Amino acid sequence: MELWYTDQHTDDVRFSMKASVQVASKKSAVQQIDILDTPAYGRVLVLDGGLMTTEKDEFIYHEMITHVPMAVNPNVRNVLVIGGGDGGTVRELVKYRKIESIDLVEVDKDVVLLAKKYLPFTSSKLKDKRVSVWFEEGLRYVRGKKAEYDLIIVDSSDPYGPAEGLFTREFYGTCFKALRDDGILINQHESPFYHAHQRSVRDAHRHIAVEFPVSTVYQCHIPSYPSGHWLFGFASKKYHPIDDLDAARWNKLSISTRYYNTDLHRGAFALPNYVKELLNQ
Ligand code: SPD
C-alpha cells in the first residue's frame, strides 16, 4: 500500500507527494507536528496538516528571507527571528560574522526539539553561541521592546491558528518600535496566486505600509508551496531594497548560497502586474 501526504492548498486544489515513512508524529501543546520522508522532497515538516518546509526546496525560502535584507544593511548586529523553529533562517544568518546576536522566538518548543532530531541540516546552527532561543508567542515577546534590533525576520506559518497574530497591524507596529532607526522588517508574505490567499497578502501589505515609510514585496519560486509563487515583505525605516543594495560589498563576503545572488536580488523586486494590482487595491 502506498502512503501519500496531501497539502490542501485551497478548497479546490491539493498538492500530494508520495511518502516512504512517517518519521515522527506529535501533538504538542500548540499544534499537530508530523515529519515524513518523501522520495521527491526529502524529509518534510508538516504543522497541523500544512506543509512548512522540505529538505529539497527549503534553501530557496531561507536564503531569500535572510540574504535580501543582509545585502541591503551592512550594519546588522542584532537580529530577531520570530517563528522559524526549524532553524533554517538561523542557519543562513550565522554565515555573517558581523552579526553579534540572534534571538529566535518560537511558540512551540516541540518544533525546535523535533527539528534538532530529525532535520539536522536545517537546524544545524541553532547551537551557534550567538543564538538564544525563547519559547514564547512572537507578539507577546516583541511588545515593550524599544530600538533593540537591526533586523526582524518573521518566519511564520500561515496566517491562521498559532501565527494569526503575526499578520496584524498591532504586530507590525510593535516591530517598528523594536527596530532601530535603520531597521528592516522581513516577513513571509504568502502566495498571491490563488484567490483564497489574496486577501491575507493584501491586508498584510496594507498594515505594514501604514507603519513603515519603505514597504514593498519581493518574490521567488518555491515548488512545494501553494502555486509555487511566493512573496516576502520588505519594510524599512530607511533603506531602499534596490537603491541601497551594495552588490560588490555583499559579493566580497563570499557567502555561499544555492539560490540567492545579487542579480536575482534586483530581479526579485520586479513584480508581475497582477501582484502590483493586488497590492494597490
Ligand atoms: N504554506 C507554507 C508557508 C510556510 C512558511 N513558513 C515556513 C517556515 C520555514 N522556516
- Quick one: 170 and 126 in the same domain? yes
Crossing angle of the two packed helices 195-211 and 273-280, in degrees rounded to 10? 60
3 state DSSP class of 11: coil
Span 255-272, pLDDT tens digits = 999 999 999 999 999 999
C-alpha cell at 176: 517598528
Cell of 272: 508581475
Distance 252 CA to ligand 1 centre (A): 30
Same domain membership, residue 179 and residue 101 = yes
Q: Give the 3-state secondary structure of residue 4.
A: strand
Is 148 found in the same domain as 44?
no
> From atom 6 of ligand 1, which residue's Cα is the shortest distance away?
157
Domain boundary among 17, 33, 54: 54
CA 149 to chain centre: 17
- Whether residues 116 and 14 fall in one domain: no
pLDDT band at 120 (very low <50, low <70, confident <90, very high): very high
Same domain, 38 and 144: no
Question: CA-to-CA distance for 166 and 182, rounded, in angstroms?
Answer: 22
Please tell me the distance between residue 84's alpha carbon and the centre of ligand 1 in angstroms.
8
**pLDDT tens sequence across 11-24:** 999 999 999 999 99
CA distance 166 to 36: 27
Burial grade of 35 (CB within 10 A; 0-12, 13-18, 19 or more): buried
Q: Residue 271: which domain range?
A: 58-280
Do residues 79 and 218 share a domain? yes
Q: For residue 89, give the ligand 1 atom closest to its CA.
A: 10
- The pLDDT of 37-55, averaged and rounded, is 98
pLDDT tens by residue, 197-231: 999 999 999 999 999 999 999 999 999 999 999 99
Under DSSP, is residue 221 helix (H, G, I), strand (E, B) or coil?
A: strand
* Among 16, 31, 54, residue at a domain's last position: 54
Set of cell numbers at residue 281:
487595491
Which atom number of ligand 1 is nearest to the Cα of residue 62? 10
**Ligand 1 lining (C-beta closer than 6 Å):** 50-53, 61, 84, 86, 88, 155, 157-158, 188, 225-226
Among 156, 227, 229, 232, the mutation site with the greatest number of ligand 1 atoms within 8 A of its Cβ is: 156
pLDDT at 38 over 90: yes
Do 217 and 98 reside in the same domain of the chain?
Answer: yes
Q: Which atom of ligand 1 is nearest to the CA of 84?
A: 10
| Residues with catalytic roles | 155
The domain that holds 158 is classified in CATH as 3.40.50.150
21: domain CATH number is 2.30.140.10
pLDDT value for 232: 98
Atom of ligand 1 nearest to the CA of 86: 10
Residues 126 and 50 in one domain: no
What is residue 281's DSSP assignment?
-
Residue ranges with strand state E in 124-262 = 131-135, 149-155, 179-188, 214-221, 229-236
pLDDT of 144 strictly over 90: no
Chain position carrying cell 563576503: 253
Count of the separate structural domains present in the chain: 2
Residue 94 corresponds to which amino acid? V
Residue whose CA lies nearest to ligand 1 atom number 5:
157
| Same domain flag for 21 and 102 | no
Which three-class secondary structure state does DSSP give residue 31? coil
pTM: 0.97
- Domain's final residue, options 13, 29, 54: 54
What would the mean pLDDT of 111-129 be, rounded to a whole number? 98
Q: Are residues 198 and 270 in the same domain?
A: yes
Q: Which amino acid is at 6?
A: T
Given a contact cutoff of 8 angstroms between Cβ atoms, the answer to whether 38 and 22 are in contact is no
